[in-house]
Amino acid sequence: MTSPERPAPAAPPAPAAPLTPADAPAGPGLLRSLTHRQTTMIGLGSALGTGLFLGSGSAISVAGPAVIVSYAVGALLVAVIAVLLGEMSAAHPVQGSFGTIARTYLGPWAGFLARWMYWFSAVVVIGTEVVASALYIRWWWPGVPMGGAILAIAAVVLAVNVINVKSFGTTEFWLSTIKVTALCAFILCAAFLVLFGLPDTEAAGFAHLTDDGGFAPHGGEAVWIAMSVVMFAYAGFEVVAIASAEAADPQRSIRTAMRQLAWRLSVFYVLSITLVVALIPWKHLAAGNGSVEASPFVRVFSDIGVPAAATLTNLVVLIAAVSAANAHLYGASRLLHSLGDDGLAPAPLARLTSRGVPAVALAASTLGIAAAALLAFYDVGGIFSILMSIALFAVLLVWLLILASYVAFRRHRDTHPAEFTGFSIRGGPVLAVVAGVGVLAVAATAIEVPDMRQAAAVGLAFTAVLLVGYAVISWRRRER
């Protein structure tokens, strides 16, 4: 597929002219080789990480069984953002994805801020997922040095991404398939135990949902506070939109991928959490938060007599962590490459290999691995929860920019329908406003959650630094 040459970066437009379907090619050097199935599975790969498989314990400890409501609200919120982002991405499958779209419809500052903030959050996630993978390896072989395990996982993830985008898509497809299969098996086993039980064990039923203090033992406010933990588990679906620039059939792939992603995440998260809390008293789950043996998978598999349940679960969460790191590294590198290509980041970041891979941007996006490795090496207590909160704050800001871009996008689309192809969401602007209120409500948990409060302070400071940086870049361009 040939791509029309784009003009070299110049002074930022005010505002940029709207994109049209002519902008659909990926951009200089990027190759459209991701298949329809790969694009769909990439989104699941980035969103289904350790946040679901092991991290739900902390949310359960906050809200008790009422955490089901937190996950349901989170699923609804993410579903709305996903389908609205899908509409924009199908109309504009360009490199830089939502960052380029924000630049077009809100102004260059928005595109700069959205891409840098998302890159920062992805880098944090990459680092923590790689360190988590190393911990899972050491669960089998405690004698393996932490640094060595981190380097091994990092090498695998980097190698998959640096070969070519087809290699990345194939690997992520199979890793995500394993995760989804394991999760479906878990849901079926858990549902059988809840509804029917075993020959020597009665059906668990749903009594645990109201035992130990009732459905909402900590009150309704805890449902809202738990959102500060829950929403981070959903982050990552945006990689589907980023992949649209390298999808072979972007309009079909994005439309299907975003809609399937929305309902699959809703079913997987809400149903699995409901079954977990129905099977195991919530206080037991909260007390064992974070260990492999206390994972919901282990508890369910142990109850049905599957041998070596902990080993099986460790394998699943290892695959989940590697898959999530793999997908986030892809997304981070593509946004960083687009910033370099637009002259909003150092020029070497725009370079591509002969196979269409932004190798320099890939290398720069592994900074999170190095930082997380140092923190793990020095055993800095509590730092990971803080970093995760900071990453969530960055993602929330990106979601707000996506929703604001959508409102402006739809205003232009509704007045210039002949310029656009692809699907359109009925009542999209209203949904965008409602979702924006929901995102702000999640951010407001900083009032009650210390980690989120600290994350908000750091995140706002980082946002101010980025805006100052953009102002300096704009001033230098005008002076040329």
Give the Cα separation of 105 and 47 in Å (integer): 27
The mean-pLDDT minimum among 52-66, 78-92, 314-328 falls in: 52-66
Residues 374-394 pLDDT 10s: 776 666 555 556 666 777 788
303-327 mean pLDDT:
78
Asked whether residue 50 carries a pLDDT value surpassing 90, the answer given is: no
Phi/psi of residue 242, nearest 5 degrees: -60, -40
pLDDT value of residue 202: 82
Give, in order, the Cα–Cα distances in Å from 223 to each of 64, 70, 217, 281.
Answer: 9, 5, 10, 18
109-136 mean pLDDT:
87
Which is more confidently placed, 286 or 130? 130
pLDDT value of residue 400: 95
155-166 mean pLDDT:
86
Q: Hey, what amino acid is at 76? A: L
DSSP output for 183-235: HHHHHHHHHHHHHT-BTTB---TTGGGTTTT-SSTT-HHHHHHHHHHHHHHHT
Q: Where are the alpha helices (DSSP H) in 31-107?
A: 36-47, 50-53, 56-63, 67-91, 97-105
Q: Hey, what amino acid is at 344? A: L
Q: Is the peptide bond before 15 cis (omega within 30 degrees of 0)?
A: yes
pTM of the model: 0.86
pLDDT value of residue 359: 87
Q: Could you tell me the pLDDT band of residue 12, with boundaries at 50, 70 and 90? A: very low
pLDDT value of residue 432: 95
pLDDT value of residue 382: 57
Give, in order, the Cα–Cα distances in Å from 262 to each of 47, 123, 379.
Answer: 11, 24, 37
pLDDT value of residue 10: 41
* Buried-state track 10-23, b at ≥16 Cβ within 10 A, e below 16: eebeeebebbeeeb
User: What domains can be seen in the chain, in order of their start residue?
Assistant: 32-479 (1.20.1740.10)
Asked whether residue 49 carries a pLDDT value surpassing 50, the answer given is: yes
Give the Cα separation of 40 and 288 in Å (integer): 33
Give the Cα separation of 268 and 280 in Å (integer): 18
Asked whether residue 133 carries a pLDDT value surpassing 80, the answer given is: yes
Six-digit token string for 186: 């878990």
Contact 191, 275 (CB under 8 A): yes
Give the Cα separation of 326 and 398 in Å (integer): 21
Give the Cα separation of 110 and 102 in Å (integer): 6
Q: Could you tell me the pLDDT band of residue 21, with boundaries at 50, 70 and 90? A: very low
Residues 289-309 pLDDT 10s: 555 555 666 666 666 666 677
* Buried-state track 63-94, b at ≥16 Cβ within 10 A, e below 16: bbbbbbbbbbbbbbbbbbbbbbbbbbbbbbbb
Asked whether residue 18 carries a pLDDT value surpassing 70, the answer given is: no
pLDDT value of residue 27: 47
Q: How far is CA 27 from the centre of its chain?
A: 24
Cα angle: 364, vertex 369, 371; to 5 degrees: 95
Q: Hey, what amino acid is at 89? A: S
pLDDT value of residue 433: 96
pLDDT value of residue 288: 58
pLDDT value of residue 223: 93
Q: Could you tell me the pLDDT band of residue 4, with boundaries at 50, 70 and 90? A: very low
* Beta partners for residue 34, in sequence order: 247
- Say what the alpha-carbon torsion angle 333, 339, 345, 349 is, to the nearest 10 degrees: 40
Look at the block and give the residue holding tokens 């009732």. 214
Which is more confidently placed, 400 or 373? 400
Asked whether residue 11 carries a pLDDT value surpassing 90, the answer given is: no
Give the Cα separation of 442 and 224 in Å (integer): 7
The mean-pLDDT minimum among 176-180, 244-248, 316-320 falls in: 244-248
pLDDT value of residue 440: 94
Percent above pLDDT 90 for the chain: 18
Asked whether residue 282 carries a pLDDT value surpassing 90, the answer given is: no
pLDDT value of residue 24: 39
Helix (H) or strand (E) holding 479: helix 450-479
Asked whether residue 211 carries a pLDDT value surpassing 80, the answer given is: yes
Give the Cα separation of 38 and 21 in Å (integer): 23
* Buried-state track 298-310, b at ≥16 Cβ within 10 A, e below 16: bbbbebeeeeebb
Asked whether residue 109 carries a pLDDT value surpassing 80, the answer given is: yes
Give the Cα separation of 172 and 322 in Å (integer): 9
Six-digit token string for 164: 């070519």
Percent above pLDDT 70 for the chain: 83
The mean-pLDDT minimum among 67-81, 160-174, 308-322, 432-446 falls in: 308-322
421-442 mean pLDDT:
89
Which is more confidently placed, 243 or 85? 85
Q: Which of 140-144, 207-211, 332-336, 404-408 reaches the highest mean pLDDT?
A: 404-408
Q: Could you tell me the pLDDT band of residue 116, with boundaries at 50, 70 and 90? A: very high
Asked whether residue 111 carries a pLDDT value surpassing 50, the answer given is: yes
pLDDT value of residue 307: 65
Q: Could you tell me the pLDDT band of residue 32, with boundaries at 50, 70 and 90? A: low
Cα atoms in the 13 Å half-sphere on the side-chain side of 475: 6
Which is more confidently placed, 383 or 100? 100
203-228 mean pLDDT:
88
Round the average pLDDT of the chain to a whole number and report it.
Answer: 80
